[in-house]
Amino acid sequence: MKSVTIRAPSTIANFGPGFDIFALALEHPYIELKMELTETRSIAIRLDGCREDMPDDPEKNCAGLALMDMLKRINSNTGVLVEPLKTIRVGAGLGSSGACASASVYGLNRLLQLNLGSDQMIEIASQGEIASGSVAHADNVAGAMLGGFVIVKSYNPISVLRMDVPDVPIVIGIMRKTQRTTRSFIPKAMDLSLVKEQLSMCSLVIHAILSGDVEELGKAISKDHISEPVRSQSIPGYVKIKKKLLDGGALGCNVSGGGLSIFAICDQNRVQDVAEVMKDGFADQGIDPEVIITRSSNQGAQVVASD
């Protein structure tokens, strides 16, 4: 196999209360990366057909950084050309960097027939997150690698649990961050009473996923004391938009990943209404974001073409 095209899904990291621990894979948008082994002994990123604003310097690119780490670990100096064919909106909290890093690691694993295990690939891909100004967190990369709903069981060493997810319709109001990362806003400590609530909500998310109870899932993902309070401050009218969504048919709503997109989950028969409410809610703030309708997905990184 000389070249391979890998598809990897966007993800909602944290998925409400699970800061750095939970992620949910989405049916779309997704990224597609074409990868080719070359004789150059270096990593090259070709952005000719790429509409998103991505760096082509491998040291500043999520795929490039993950691949550099991977080649070092396996002690290889093979050259790799990476070409993003389809991208996810960058800087919107939809896991574009995680999908990019996971797809590239998955692709090189195939090209070199390394047979690395998924935890090992997730560990390497998480290094790619550093390029987006973040730390090497594993929630997005795990969701993009494995699909479904993931729980990062351990960071040292990385160990991830994956579960199949029920079909959950999701509406997303896509908003990009103006800042490179919102990571520094996260509080360093938390009051014990809030910790207890957070634990309850995390447990409820897992129970709802396992029992397929989308209504319970909605309640569980709507409360978070770690990311939502700080990230939502950069979203104009967030509290009003959230109330409107919950009053207008959404079962649950929160900030997606590092923001600033808002996601809402709902029953299939309410998705159009909820999408309208999302548009109206932002319009009240004088904002006209792209609103998409998607759903949860059990599909992780996969080969979609090769030669």
Q: Where are the beta strands (DSSP E) in the chain?
A: 3-13, 22-38, 43-45, 79-86, 149-155, 158-163, 169-174, 252-255, 262-265, 290-295, 302-306
Cα–Cα distance, 134 to 15 (Å, whole number)? 18
The tokens describing 288, both together, are: 């006209």
Member of 139, 220, 232, 277 binding ligand HSE (CB under 6 A): 139
The tokens describing 99, both together, are: 């999908």
Which range binds ligand HSE by CB under 6 A, 44-52, 68-76, 131-139, 268-276? Answer: 131-139
SS3 8: strand
Residue 256 found at the interface with ligand HSE (CB under 6 A):
no
174 beta partners: 290
SS3 137: coil
Closest CB to ligand HSE: residue number: 258
Which range binds ligand HSE by CB under 6 A, 53-61, 134-142, 273-281, 293-301? Answer: 134-142
Residue 137 found at the interface with ligand HSE (CB under 6 A):
yes
Cα–Cα distance, 4 to 2 (Å, whole number)? 7
Member of 140, 222, 232, 261 binding ligand HSE (CB under 6 A): 140
Nearest to 257 by CA among 164, 147, 177: 177
Member of 60, 183, 223, 295 binding ligand HSE (CB under 6 A): 183
Residues 11-70 that bind ligand HSE (CB under 6 A): 13-14, 19-20
Task: Tell me the site size for ligand HSE, rule CB under 6 A.
Answer: 12
User: Residues 17, 21, 27, 33: is their CA dihedral positive or negative?
Assistant: positive
Residues 73-102 that bind ligand HSE (CB under 6 A): none
- To 5 degrees, how large is the angle CA 299–CA 28–CA 215? 80
Cα–Cα distance, 219 to 269 (Å, whole number)? 18
Smallest gap from Cβ 294 to ligand HSE, in A, equals: 18
Member of 17, 107, 257, 300 binding ligand HSE (CB under 6 A): 257
Smallest gap from Cβ 253 to ligand HSE, in A, equals: 16
Residue 133 found at the interface with ligand HSE (CB under 6 A):
no
What CA dihedral angle connects 207, 213, 219 and 222, to 10 degrees? 80
Residue 227 found at the interface with ligand HSE (CB under 6 A):
yes
Smallest gap from Cβ 238 to ligand HSE, in A, equals: 16
Which range binds ligand HSE by CB under 6 A, 113-121, 133-141, 202-210, 240-248? Answer: 133-141
Smallest gap from Cβ 167 to ligand HSE, in A, equals: 24
- To 5 degrees, how large is the angle CA 64–CA 65–CA 70? 95
**Amino acid at the residue 198:** Q
Smallest gap from Cβ 217 to ligand HSE, in A, equals: 19
Residue 297 found at the interface with ligand HSE (CB under 6 A):
no
Q: Where along the sequence are the contacts to ligand HSE (CB under 6 A)?
A: 13-14, 19-20, 134, 137, 139-140, 183, 227, 257-258
